[in-house]
A = this chain, B = another copy of it.
Amino acid sequence: MLSRNSYGKSCVRLAKVTRRQDRHDFKDLAVAVRFEGDFESAHVAGDNSTILPTDTMKNTVYALASSHPLDEIEDFARVLVAHFLENNLQVSRVRVRIAERLWSRIVVSGTPHRHAFVGSGSEERIATVTGTRGSFAVEAGIGGLVVLKTTDSGFEGFIRDRFTTLPEASDRIFATEIEANWVYAQPDVAFGLYWRSVRQTLLDEFATHPSRSVQHTLYRMGEEVLERFGEIEEIRLSLPNKHHLPFNLAPLGLENANEIFVPTDAPYGLIEAVIRRKDE
Contact = CB atoms under 8 A, between A and B. Distances in A.
A22 interface: no
A155 interface: yes
A149 B115 contact: yes
Contacts of A158: 48-49, 51-53
Interface string A1-38: 11111111111111111110000101010001010000
Interface of A is mostly: mixed
Contact of A87 (B18, B161, B273): B161
Interface stretch (A71-79, A184-192, A244-252): A244-252
Contacts of A160: 56
A182 interface: no
Nearest to A109: B204
A34 B19 CA distance: 35
Given A119-B121, A203-B118, A151 B24 contact: yes
A50 interface: yes
B252 A108 contact: no
Nearest to A205: B108
A92 interface: no
Nearest to A102: B121
A10 B270 contact: yes
Contact of A119 (B56, B148, B162): B148
A255 B66 CA distance: 8
Contacts of A67: 254
Per CB-CB distance, the 10 closest pairs between chain A and chain B, nearest first, are A121-B121, A46-B212, A119-B146, A116-B207, A5-B273, A43-B219, A46-B216, A11-B266, A54-B269, A3-B274
29 contacts: A7-B271, A8-B269, A9-B270, A12-B266, A13-B267, A16-B259, A17-B151, A17-B173, A19-B150, A19-B259, A42-B213, A43-B215, A43-B219, A51-B215, A52-B164, A53-B159, A56-B163, A63-B163, A63-B249, A63-B254, A66-B260, A115-B152, A116-B150, A117-B147, A118-B145, A119-B146, A162-B252, A162-B253, A265-B265
Given A52-B158, A63-B254, A117-B148, 14 more contacts: A3-B276, A6-B271, A9-B268, A15-B173, A18-B259, A43-B215, A48-B213, A53-B166, A56-B161, A106-B207, A108-B203, A113-B208, A116-B203, A121-B121
